[in-house]
Structure formats: structure tokens, C-alpha cells
């Protein structure tokens, strides 16, 4: 499932309703992997929004991932959860969610990646590629060379897992990033409030082949 979807959309918006609007626009335009990333909202709001997100993703046959919160992911019947470095351990998440949930983890270093692999995640969101304003506590920027180094380090240890680049990526970065051997990219601003979104998504997918 993960290997077939190379483009992930991380939701953006000033309100939960704006997140949902942007998610639906991306789904309508052909996006097939949605991560609902709500910050600074109470649990009830997060759950209510997640349930609406589930309805949208079902309508467009898109995979739905919830950022950070395993309780919301389970209650909203999401397909998975994406965990930050300071969130619940993936092993605990697996026990709580079961074997059928997708579990992703954020990483910035090869040590983070190795730990995630040991903890049994299904994919790793590796970044940031460059500076991004969407994250408050930003880890050191990797750039193309950072991805090459981490990919090479994992290969030397015979470790393999889908790696998804994230963090300030623009269309012009895609070709060079894909050459590093990563499995895909996660974007937010690139697909939010854009005209000709279907054309944009098709163009991105073409560049990623």
C-alpha cells in the first residue's frame, strides 16, 4: 500500500474547516494519501474533524493518516498514524492500534531511522529538506546531501524502509530528491490554495516516476 503512493498531503489551514476544505480539494484533484495535521485544538475538535476527514477520504478512496494522536486515529477509524519524535513510541502505538494500522515516524538522523526500524514503523518521514514555517520546533535542515548520506548509511547496514522526504519541498526539488532513492515526498504548502490542482498533482506524480 505504502509503496504505491508516493505523494502525501499534510493538511494545512487556519481552522479545522479550512483543513477539511483543503483536504477535499486535494482528494478531488487526485491526491490519494492524506495526513490530517491539526495543532492546538482540543481532543473533541480533533476527533470530530478526523471523522469528517474519514468521510472525505472514503469518498475519494484516499488513505487517511492522523498526525500524533493514536486515540483519535483509532476512534475515527483512520488507516494509520504519523508519530513525531516526542510522541508515543511506535511499539506502544502498534499494541494499541493493532497490526492493520499504518504507523509512520518522523526522523532527522540515521539514528532516528534505525530506531524507528527497530520499533516497527511502516514508513519514515525524513526531514526537513529545507526550512519550513509549518513546524515550530524545526530539526536541522538536511538538503539533498543529507538524504544521500542517510540512504547510504542505511544501505550499508542492509536496512530498508520507505523514506518520505518532507519540509519545504517545491516542484523543482522533486527530481533531485527522487534520485537519492527515497520512496516519496510529503508536501503541504505546495498543494494548498493552488489553482489547477489536478494538473499540479499529475505533474508531481510524473516527476516522481
pLDDT of 185-203, one tens digit each?
999 999 998 899 999 999 9
Look over the chain and give the mean of its residue pLDDT values, rounded to a whole number. Answer: 95
pLDDT tier, 2 (very low <50, low <70, confident <90, very high otherwise): low
Output the CA torsion sign for 81, 69, 186, 90.
negative
Whether 151 and 163 have beta carbons less than 8 Å apart is answered as: yes
- Evaluate if residue 161 carries a pLDDT over 70: yes
State phi, psi for 33 to the nearest 5 degrees.
-140, 115
pLDDT digits (tens, 9 = 90+) for 4-39: 679 999 999 999 999 999 999 999 999 999 999 999
Position 139 scores a pLDDT of: 82
CATH of 2-207, one of 3.20.20.70, 3.30.470.10, 3.50.50.60, 3.40.50.2020: 3.20.20.70
Grid coordinates given for 118: 527497530
Q: How far apart are CA 88 and CA 81, in angstroms?
A: 11
Position 5 scores a pLDDT of: 79
Q: How far apart are CA 21 and CA 3, in angstroms?
A: 27
Determine the number of helices (DSSP H) and then strands (DSSP E) in the chain: 8, 8
Look up residue 181 and give its DSSP letter: T
pLDDT digits (tens, 9 = 90+) for 132-157: 776 666 788 999 999 999 999 999 99
State whether residue 69 is helix, strand or coil.
Answer: coil
Provide the whole-model pTM. 0.95
- What are the structural domain ranges in the chain? 2-207
List all residues 6 or more positions away from 56 whose beta carbon is below 8 Å from its beta carbon. 20, 23, 24, 27, 34, 62
Q: Cα torsion at 75, 77, 82, 83 (round to 10°)?
A: 30
Amino acid at each position: 500500500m505504502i509503496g504505491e503512493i508516493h505523494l502525501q498531503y499534510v493538511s494545512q489551514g487556519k481552522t479545522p474547516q479550512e483543513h477539511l476544505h483543503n483536504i477535499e480539494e486535494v482528494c478531488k484533484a487526485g491526491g490519494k494519501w492524506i495526513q490530517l495535521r491539526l495543532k492546538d485544538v482540543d481532543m473533541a475538535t480533533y476527533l470530530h474533524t478526523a471523522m469528517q476527514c474519514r468521510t472525505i477520504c472514503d469518498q475519494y478512496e484516499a488513505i487517511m493518516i492522523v498526525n500524533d494522536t493514536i486515540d483519535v486515529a483509532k476512534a475515527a477509524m483512520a488507516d494509520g498514524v504519523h508519530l513525531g519524535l516526542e510522541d508515543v513510541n511506535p511499539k506502544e502505538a502498534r499494541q494499541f492500534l493493532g497490526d492493520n494500522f499504518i504507523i509512520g515516524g518522523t526522523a532527522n538522523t540515521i539514528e532516528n531511522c534505525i530506531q524507528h526500524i527497530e520499533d516497527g514503523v511502516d514508513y519514515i518521514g525524513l526531514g526537513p529538506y529545507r526550512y519550513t514555517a509549518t513546524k515550530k520546533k524545526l530539526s536541522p535542515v538536511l538538503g539533498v546531501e543529507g538524504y544521500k548520506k542517510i540512504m547510504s548509511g542505511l544501505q550499508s547496514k542492509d536496512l530498508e524502509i520507505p523514506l518520505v522526504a518532507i519540509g519545504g519541498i517545491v516542484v523543482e526539488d522533486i527530481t533531485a530528491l527522487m534520485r537519492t532513492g527515497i520512496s516519496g515526498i510529503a508536501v503541504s504548502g505546495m498543494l494548498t490554495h493552488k489553482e489547477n490542482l489536478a494538473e499540479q498533482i499529475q505533474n508531481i506524480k510524473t516527476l516522481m516516476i
